Amino acid sequence: MLEARGVSVSYGAAPALWDIDLEVSTGELVCVVGPNGAGKTTLINAIAGLHRVRSGSIRYQGEDITHLPPHRFCDKGIALVPEGRRLFTQMSVLDNLELGSYIGRAKKLRRQSLEHVLTLFPALNAKLHHLAGSLSGGQQQMVAIGRGLMARPGLLLLDEPSLGLSPLVVHTMFEAIRQINQEGTSILLVEQNVSMAMALAERAYVVEEGRIVTHGAASELLRSPAIRRAYLGLDDEPGTSPAAPIVTPASEI
Ligand code: ATP
């Protein structure tokens, strides 16, 4: 479905990504993990058309989208939920959601899409006419993901959806991401929360200093001693990590 080959990106003269090969197949949930400043946001933004690709190519459903203007991505079926949510805080939740469905097919399906988002995130029902900026961090992240879903994407690009959220809220957010994927949307997830991202994803790419240093089945990478030491701070054997947190119902966030 998505295929990046040999992608390099620079900020001016400063290279940020080198020779990235990455794939997401139809229906897959794939994560990209790595330390601060590794290039994860640059990578997901390049896939969303927000950075000029210096060399290499990006194809989506067989079509070369490497140099497609950013505003065309939505219509192609690719939606980005950016790091930091980027909501219009002085607009209502409903207006923010509807902004996700302004063009093409998504506009015709707006009512069904809104129902779907409110089923996924019932806490937003009572907040539709509140200013987005008045919501809790978890609720704002729901609006950001909801706005992405309003575009009816085939591929959802999620940049750090756990950023700034408490562990219990993160767990609930990840359950929603799992559900979105199970309903048929392919997902590329960028995360610093390595253990949760890898527990959710089928495959993972590890980025360091602008390069993919390893990739493979997330369950296997999670068992790798190098990954456990570098990213999870664990020297123990797999399977001895602390138990998963208790889930907070989405309605209570
Ligand atoms: P984080 O988890 O902190 O967001 P990241 O893995 O997403 O990190 P990026 O934000 O993609 O990393 O940054 C990759 C590299 O590019 C870093 O060295 C960063 O300093 C640099 N960089 C990011 N944005 C810019 C910019 N607008 N101009 C110049 N350099 C930038």
- Residue-wise pLDDT for 11-35, tens only, equals 988 999 999 999 999 999 999 999 8
Tokens of 130: 């509140």
List of residues 6+ apart from 207 with CB closer than 8 A: 32, 33, 34, 38, 39, 40, 43, 213
Query: Residue 7 to residues 133, 135, 164, 201: CA-CA distances in angstroms?
Result: 36, 38, 30, 22
Q: What is the DSSP letter of 121?
A: -
CB of 42 shorter than 6 A to ligand 1: yes
Name the closest-CA residue to atom 29, ligand 1.
11
* C-alpha to C-alpha distance for 119 and 139, rounded to whole angstroms: 14
Question: Which of 7, 11, 190 maximizes ligand 1 atoms within 8 Å of its Cβ, making it the mutation to test the pocket?
Answer: 11
Tokens of 129: 């006419």
pTM confidence score: 0.89
Domains, the chain, ranges and CATH?
2-252 (3.40.50.300)
Share of the chain above pLDDT 70, in %: 92
* C-alpha to C-alpha distance for 37 and 148, rounded to whole angstroms: 25
Question: Which of 31, 40, 190 maximizes ligand 1 atoms within 8 Å of its Cβ, making it the mutation to test the pocket?
Answer: 40
Share of the chain above pLDDT 90, in %: 66
- For residues 129 and 94, the answer to whether their CB atoms sit within 8 Å is yes
Q: Is the pLDDT of residue 153 over 50?
A: yes
Give the mean pLDDT of 35-49.
93
Grouping H, G, I as helix, E, B as strand and the rest as coil, residue 75 is helix
pLDDT for the residue numbered 245: 42
